[in-house]
């Protein structure tokens, strides 16, 4: 999956990811627990991760 921008909402127990492709369309929208977040993140390709 190719994601050009990946937004990550970090919370205490649940992380939410929102990925947008180069055309501006949503290509990823997922919610993860802390222990499942990192393994999934290592599987996708992304180029930009803005941090708040």
- 14-20/2-9 β-pairing: antiparallel
Q: What is the pLDDT of residue 1?
A: 64
**pLDDT at residue 31 is higher than 90:** yes
**pLDDT at residue 52 is higher than 70:** no
Confidence tier at 2 by pLDDT (50, 70, 90):
confident
Q: Which residue has the higher pLDDT, 13 or 50?
A: 13
Domains of the chain, residue spans: 2-48
Q: Where are the alpha helices (DSSP H) in 1-52?
A: 34-41
């Amino acid at each position: 999956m190719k994601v050009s921008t990946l937004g990550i909402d970090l919370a205490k127990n649940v992380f939410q990811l929102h990925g947008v492709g180069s055309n501006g369309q949503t290509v990823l929208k997922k919610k993860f627990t802390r222990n499942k977040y990192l393994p999934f993140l290592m599987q996708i390709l992304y180029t930009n991760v803005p941090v708040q």
